[in-house]
């Protein structure tokens, strides 16, 4: 599996999240030109809530 295929596979898995504000479905924000996930200044993935129009980030879980 090439790097691109691996990336696309990972993107499918992280494409949807549950909005923390209203528990509605949210989709991953992506850069249309680059087809890469939109991130904030900390490099965290940003999601857009379809119902409540919320934008939020999801921190990757760290094992402690």
Q: Where along the sequence are the contacts to Zn ion (CB under 5 A)?
A: 19, 21-22, 24, 49, 52, 54
CB of 3 to Zn ion, least distance (A): 33
CB of 54 to Zn ion, least distance (A): 4
CB of 15 to Zn ion, least distance (A): 16
Residue 19 corresponds to which tokens in the numbers above?
A: 């909005």
- Name the residue nearer to Zn ion (CB basis): 39 or 51: 51
Q: Give the CB-side neighbour count of residue 62, counting CA atoms within 13 A.
A: 2
Spatial separation of the C-alpha atoms in residues 43 and 38, rounded to whole Å: 8
Report H helices in the chain.
3-13
């Amino acid at each position: 599996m090439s790097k691109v295929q691996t990336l696309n596979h990972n993107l499918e898995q992280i494409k949807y999240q549950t909005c923390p504000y209203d528990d509605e479905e949210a989709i991953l924000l992506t850069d249309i030109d680059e087809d890469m996930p939109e991130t904030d200044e900390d490099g965290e993935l940003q999601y857009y809530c379809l119902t409540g129009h919320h934008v939020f980030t999801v921190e990757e879980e760290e094992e402690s």
